[in-house]
Structure 1
Amino acid sequence: MKNNVYIEVVRQLTDLLKQLKPNEYNQSLAVLNGSSMGQHTRHVVEFYQCLLKGLCNGVVDYDARERNLMLENDLKFTINCLHEIENSIESIKNPNEPLLLAVSYCTYNQDFIETNFMREVVYLVEHSIHHYALIRIGLQENFPKIFIPKNFGVAYSTVKHREENVIMVND
């Protein structure tokens, strides 16, 4: 798959995590209601894993996350998983292949919605950025030594809007 935005979003997290120490990664943070960087990272990683699994079996089910505690607690393991996700996304041959999205809003009923990999990866970009914004808050409040890129946790549409308004103000 040629569009690098999808890879870039995963790499943003990988690059940020490489700056953390293992005890910082899984530290409970008051500003995140007791959650850790690792818990938010696990959540993001597992959504990508669900999508990639769905690509193999034809059904994407984000509710069927493994909730793997190693992703929350083992920084090196998590970084390796992120590299695997990058490689998997890069190797996608048919991003428009039809998939079904499993949706459950109650315990007794599951519906299926037609979708495709490209549509779902677009969703995951937005979902990831939302969690990156939370991760950013945790880092700013607790680990000021960590370099956070200017647009980490900021939606692409917001970045574009800000850039356009700066151009208009400077004209």
Structure 2
Amino acid sequence: MKSVIFTEVVKQLSNLLKQLKPNDYSKSLDVLNGSSIGQHTRHIVEFYQCLLKGILGGIVDYDARERNLMLENDLNYTLSILKLIETQIENIKNLNEPLLLSVNYNSDSQHFIETNFIREMVYLVEHSIHHYALIRIGLQENFDKIDIPKNFGVAYSTVKHRQEMVVEI
């Protein structure tokens, strides 16, 4: 598997966000329970940052997100970080790089689970698409001028299933 599929998911978000006005990016939306497109984007971006940081030290900890408010409020800053993430993913030499995933569901115990870079990227693709679906709802309900790609926020398996259904008919 090539890293292209992983950067494609990041590019989908970048391309969509480029259509937004900076104020719209950080606007609180009722349909998202008061959160913004920026807040969902920050959440997505910080998961990628945790993985890319983890590859340096061998331990991925998604709970250790920075919760950087610039990512949810500054559209241009976020677009530059997304570009940096694309570049960093493209430069990963060993997609099977072994890692440990830090898991801590309560304050009493921390566990480390064996994983690798490509497995975590698969997780991040699914995680991103889930949040893209929420972003899509926010955009559709509040910003009718935004051109949302047909499959933005739709799982790859669902896209494939829909294509197969069309062929069978």
TM-score range, shorter chain: over 0.9
| Superimposed CA distance per residue, residues 108-140 of structure 1 (whole angstroms, 9 cap, x where no aligned partner) | 211000000000000000000000000000000
- Displacement over 6 Å in runs of 4+: none
Which amino acid in 1 is paired with 2:112? F
Q: Which whole-Å CA distance do the structure 1 matches of 2:74 and 2:53 have between them?
A: 22
Residue matched to 1:41: 41
- Describe how 1:1-171 pairs up with structure 2 within 5 A: 2-169=2-169
SS in 1 for 2:28: coil
Letter in 2 for 1:61: D
1:3 offset after TM fit, Å? 3.5
State the secondary structure of the residue aligned to 1:99.
strand
Verify the 8 A CA contact 2:3 2:89 in the aligned structure 1: no
CA RMSD of aligned residues (A): 0.8
Mapped to 1, the partners of 2:4 and 2:90 lie a distance apart of 8
State TM-score, norm by structure 2. 0.99
Residue by residue over 1:115-167, the C-alpha shift from the partner in whole angstroms, topping out at 9 and shown as x without a partner, is 00000000000000000000000000000100000000000000000000110
CA shift digits 1:65-91 (9 cap, x unpaired): 000000000000000000000000000
Amino acid at match of 2:129: I
Name the amino acid aligned to 2:97: E
CA contact (8 A) 2:60 2:101 kept: yes
Counterparts of 1:93 and 1:3, CA distance in 2: 10
Deviations 1:38-88 (A, max 9, x none): 000000000000000000000000000000000000000000000000000
CA distance in 2, matches of 1:140, 1:117: 34
Identical positions, percent: 73
**Cα separation, 2, equivalents of 1:71 and 1:3:** 24
CA distance in 2: counterparts of 1:111 and 1:14, whole angstroms? 34
Give unmatched runs, 5+ long, in structure 2: none
Please state whether the residue corresponding to 2:102 is helix, strand or coil: strand
* Amino acid of the structure 2 residue aligned with 1:49: Q
Alignment partners' CA distance in 2, 1:166 and 1:2: 28
Name structure 1 gaps, 5 residues minimum: none
Distance in 2 (CA, whole Å) between partners of 1:103 and 1:160 is: 32
SS in 1 for 2:148: coil
One-letter code of the match for 2:153? G
Question: What number of residue pairs does the alignment pair up?
Answer: 169
Instruction: Give the distance between the partners of 2:112 and 2:2, measured in 1 at CA.
Output: 28
